[in-house]
Amino acid sequence: MKDLLKAFQHATEAGALAATDFIGKGDKEAGDKAAVDALRLALNAIDFQGKVIIGEGEKDSAPMLFNGEIVGTGNGPKLDIAVDPIEGTALLAADLPNAICVMGLAPEGTLWDPGASFFMQKIIVGKKAKHAIDINKSVAENLATVALALDKPITSLRVFVLDKPRHDQLKAEINAAGAQTVLYPEGDVLGGLRAALPNTDIDIMMGIGGTPEGVLTACAVKALEGGFMGKRAPQFKSEIALLSAENANLEEILTLDDLVKGPIAYFSATGITSGDLLKGVVKNGGAPVFDSFVLSTKSQP
């Protein structure tokens, strides 16, 4: 399995390298396409049977790495894939920190398919606080129980929140509870990752982000034995209509084991522009230097 994990790392590195040509160029679509093409080429050289559960979208609008696409050589283990060739395309285009190439994988049939759900309310924490969160409880209650689990005062808690208008009330509640709000314009996956990893500057992630990004992040959180609770949180009438057509239960609580069924998950991330967790790709005239990491659950086939 170690060789396969290394191959997945090389795949995100290929996507990151291709994207570097578009750093600061103001064209996020071109950068994303370059990463998609490179990542797909790398995946198709790996001995596994992969099915894209979460990719660039439906086949009609995403000719490569579309939802349902089959990748790999056709030999080896059967795996579901959740992929974001560039998390932070706007960050890449403007040469801002924290653009990454990221991918999560799990055995066939174990990644949750979000269907028409585009937005999800999330709470993510690390291993020490995994039993301290409850998405049905208030912000203040969750902060209090997480603080207790981490053995620190609420005033020391740092909460990752996407800096979006939809989070005005959330920010007010975090501040009222006495915790510190850490705001970022983008970086849904990276924020969840920082909350789940030990010894980072983030204790908890809260708020509404992408549902596909939630499933991708869940692969990392499962490997880290962290805590994750989610709930569909549609933001547009069109999304509500689509979910209604699917008979989706908007009150359903989605746990880590709903998002990644079973004990096995893998995750790979590579920095594109240097940020809080990963340095960007460095080209020194020779071989490019990457800052990557790969996560795997203890249970492996």
- Which residue ranges make up each domain of the chain? 2-109+263-296, 119-259
pLDDT at 111: 98
pLDDT at 193: 96
Q: Tokens representing 235?
A: 């933001």
Beta bridge partners of 269: 102, 293
pLDDT at 49 over 70: yes
Structure confidence by residue, pLDDT tens digits, 68-124: 999 999 999 999 999 999 999 999 999 999 999 999 999 999 999 999 999 999 999
> Which residue in this structure is represented by tokens 């230097």?
289
Beta bridge partners of 103: 83, 268
Which CATH entry fits the domain spanning 119-259: 3.40.120.10, 3.40.190.90, 3.30.365.10, 3.30.70.1230?
3.40.190.90
Structure confidence by residue, pLDDT tens digits, 223-263: 999 999 999 999 999 999 999 999 999 999 999 999 999 99
* Architecture of the domain spanning 2-109+263-296: 2-Layer Sandwich (3.30)
Nearest CA-CA partner of 82 in 233, 266, 298: 266
Distance separating alpha carbons of residues 99 and 89, to the nearest angstrom: 7
Inter-residue contact 157 to 203 (CB < 8 Å): yes
Backbone phi, psi, residue 128, to 5°: -65, -30
> What average pLDDT does this structure show over 53-67?
79
**pTM (2 decimals)?**
0.95
Distance separating alpha carbons of residues 238 and 216, to the nearest angstrom: 24
Backbone phi, psi, residue 211, to 5°: -65, -45
